């Protein structure tokens, strides 16, 4: 480092001080940018739904999944939780949809509403007997078609001009309109069945080919039924059926308790490490303590600015790196001790100590970096949080070891006058 070490050190300390204010969860830090905390720290629900794509052709699967995600996102937005997360997660042949609701109060109701979203589909009717009465379902066969709720663009509450009964008008998109046109053309004079959530709503007889992608569901709705149905259609009908296969709900009380305990553990751990460094390395220990403080604030600053959603596992990973961050200092100090024993002056012992400790610092972190990267790419969200904080922590600690500690020693350690 050719630049004035005092200046660079001043810069690092300044950045760390700003970071300290930035990461402090109250006042300035909270106003500029609040911390993003995981469900396990603020409470909430992590829901995993399996998507049944067996009735969707291979080429359409991606668009159906995206449509499904959008629909559920819209529904979930109605719950009023801040930043709900909805994403598709594929594992092997299974397609899953993950819904994360941070800070949700009533999970049971949320689950009900997500699942309740209407699943609409049209079915062709094949009647084997001569009776065509609606009640006589025994001889009626319903043939599933590919016209489903995924083609619906909007729904409206209308009233039957003759009976004034409430009914639901739906509009299909172009593709759906075409399918509907073909289907009605094929079935003129025959009934067409409309199914909602797997049960028959009505079975009107097709009078003529219907173009333009408009359909009306008359059913026997009460006004309220029709209204909710319209709301649900506008939020979107599910383009494919889903089933809840896993859920994880953590109460806000447990979450905040975990957060509090993790912070106390982090502070306790940091203090013990600092005391140890002072007790064992005495004068040099002071530098380790300062470097560790700078490390903590800088790393938290990096977490917040990326920003990383900090989960309990993530916090655990960070606390571990506090124990590892001083490793570099230990390696350097032990080397310096050896060089001093050989009779080097203090400044040249420091230079030599750094030079020879660096390969060990690099090597000792390599295996942890390998583990963290693999964990990040081959696991699911909870472990990923841990892997990410561990990785960032190790990288920042390597930076702080070769810059901060070195600068501190350069600026504050001078050769003793020769006696």
**Beta-bridge mates of residue 244:** 49
Q: Which range in 51-59, 192-200, 231-239, 274-282 contacts other proteins by CB under 8 A?
A: 274-282
Compute the distance between CA of residue 49 and CA of residue 174 in angstroms, rounded to an integer. 29
Can you tell me which of 182, 366, 414, 415 binds other proteins, judged by CB under 8 A? 366
Q: Which range in 22-30, 71-79, 299-307, 324-332 contacts other proteins by CB under 8 A?
A: 324-332
Compute the distance between CA of residue 224 and CA of residue 189 in angstroms, rounded to an integer. 32
- Contact by Cβ (8 Å): 50, 67: no
Q: Is the peptide bond before 36 cis (omega within 30 degrees of 0)?
A: no
Burial of residue 83 (number of CB atoms within 10 Å: 0-12, 13-18, 19+): exposed
Which pair of tokens denotes residue 409?
């020693």
Compute the distance between CA of residue 186 and CA of residue 178 in angstroms, rounded to an integer. 12
Q: Which range in 29-37, 64-72, 219-227, 266-274 contacts other proteins by CB under 8 A?
A: 266-274
Compute the distance between CA of residue 86 and CA of residue 51 in angstroms, rounded to an integer. 13
By CB under 8 A, is residue 197 in contact with other proteins? no
Can you tell me which of 113, 146, 234, 368 binds other proteins, judged by CB under 8 A? 368
- Contact by Cβ (8 Å): 102, 41: no
Closest separation between CB of residue 178 and other proteins, Å? Answer: 36
CA atoms within 13 A on the CB side of 145: 24
Question: What SS3 class is residue 96?
Answer: strand
By CB under 8 A, is residue 374 in contact with other proteins? yes
Residue placing its CB nearer to other proteins in the complex, 20 or 312: 312
- Contact by Cβ (8 Å): 293, 404: no
Q: Which range in 1-9, 155-163, 208-216, 331-339 contacts other proteins by CB under 8 A?
A: 331-339
Residue 38: which of 108, 87, 85, 75 has the closest Cα? 85
By CB under 8 A, is residue 400 in contact with other proteins? no
Residue placing its CB nearer to other proteins in the complex, 16 or 277: 277
Question: What SS3 class is residue 145?
Answer: strand
Compute φ and ψ for 194, nearest 5 degrees. Answer: -110, 120
Which pair of tokens denotes residue 131?
């009776």
* Residue labelled with tokens 């995993």: 48
Residues 119-138 close enough to bind other proteins by CB under 8 A: none
Q: Which range in 52-60, 88-96, 139-147, 155-163 contacts other proteins by CB under 8 A?
A: 88-96
Closest separation between CB of residue 419 and other proteins, Å? Answer: 27
Kind and range of the H or E run holding 141: strand 140-148
Q: Which range in 6-14, 19-27, 80-88, 377-385 contacts other proteins by CB under 8 A?
A: 377-385
Can you tell me which of 326, 336, 392, 401 binds other proteins, judged by CB under 8 A? 326
Compute φ and ψ for 231, nearest 5 degrees. Answer: -60, -45
By CB under 8 A, is residue 382 in contact with other proteins? yes
Closest separation between CB of residue 329 and other proteins, Å? Answer: 9
Residue placing its CB nearer to other proteins in the complex, 183 or 313: 313
Residues 136-155 close enough to bind other proteins by CB under 8 A: none
Kind and range of the H or E run holding 397: helix 381-400
Can you tell me which of 61, 85, 96, 127 binds other proteins, judged by CB under 8 A? 96
The binding track of 237-256 with respect to other proteins, each residue x by CB under 8 A or -, is: -------xxxxxxxx-xx--
Closest separation between CB of residue 265 and other proteins, Å? Answer: 4
By CB under 8 A, is residue 327 in contact with other proteins? yes
By CB under 8 A, is residue 343 in contact with other proteins? no
Positions of E strands within 209-259? 214-217, 242-250
CB atoms within 10 A of CB 164: 8
By CB under 8 A, is residue 52 in contact with other proteins? no
By CB under 8 A, is residue 79 in contact with other proteins? no
Residues in contact with other proteins by the rule CB under 8 A: 40, 48, 50, 91-92, 94, 96, 107-108, 111-112, 244-251, 253-254, 257-258, 261-262, 264-266, 268-270, 272-273, 276-277, 280, 312-313, 316, 319-320, 322-324, 326-327, 330-331, 334, 338, 359-360, 363-368, 370-371, 374-375, 378-380, 382-383, 386-387, 390
């Amino acid at each position: 480092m050719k630049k004035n070490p005092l200046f660079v050190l001043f810069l690092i300390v300044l950045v760390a001080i700003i970071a300290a204010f930035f990461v402090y969860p109250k006042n300035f830090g909270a106003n500029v940018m609040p911390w993003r905390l995981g469900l396990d720290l603020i409470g909430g629900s992590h829901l995993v739904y399996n998507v049944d794509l067996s009735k969707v052709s291979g080429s359409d699967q991606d668009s159906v999944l995206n449509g499904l995600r959008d629909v559920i996102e819209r529904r979930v937005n109605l719950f009023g939780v801040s930043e709900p997360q909805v994403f598709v997660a594929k594992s092997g042949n299974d397609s899953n949809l993950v819904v994360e609701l941070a800070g949700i109060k009533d999970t049971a109701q949320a689950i009900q509403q997500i699942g309740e979203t209407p699943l609409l589909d049209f079915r062709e009717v094949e009647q084997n007997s001569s009776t065509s009465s609606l009640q006589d379902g025994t001889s009626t066969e319903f043939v599933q078609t590919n016209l489903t709720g995924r083609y619906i663009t909007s729904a409206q509450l209308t009233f039957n001009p003759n009976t004034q009964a409430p009914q639901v008008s739906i509009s299909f998109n172009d593709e759906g309109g075409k399918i509907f046109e073909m289907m009605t053309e094929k079935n003129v004079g025959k009934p067409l069945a409309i199914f909602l959530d797997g049960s028959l709503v009505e079975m009107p007889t097709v009078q003529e080919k219907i173009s333009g992608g408009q359909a009306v569901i008359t059913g026997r709705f009460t006004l309220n039924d029709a209204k909710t149905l319209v709301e649900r259609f506008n939020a979107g009908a599910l383009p494919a059926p889903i089933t809840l296969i896993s859920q994880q709900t953590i109460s806000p009380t447990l979450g905040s308790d975990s957060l509090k305990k993790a912070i106390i553990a982090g502070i306790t751990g940091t203090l013990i490490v600092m005391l140890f460094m002072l007790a064992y390395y005495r004068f040099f220990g002071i530098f380790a303590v300062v470097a560790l403080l700078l490390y903590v604030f800088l790393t938290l600053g990096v977490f917040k600015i990326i920003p990383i959603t900090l989960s309990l596992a993530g916090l655990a990973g960070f606390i571990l790196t506090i124990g590892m961050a001083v490793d570099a200092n230990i390696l350097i100090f032990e080397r310096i001790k050896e060089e001093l024993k050989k009779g080097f002056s203090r400044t040249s012992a420091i230079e030599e100590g750094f030079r020879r400790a660096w390969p060990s610092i690099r090597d000792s972190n390599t295996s942890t970096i390998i583990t963290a990267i693999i964990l990040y790419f081959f696991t699911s969200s909870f472990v990923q949080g841990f892997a990410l904080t561990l990785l960032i922590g190790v990288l920042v600690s390597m930076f702080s070891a070769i810059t901060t500690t070195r600068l501190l020693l350069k600026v504050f350690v001078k050769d003793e006058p020769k006696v």
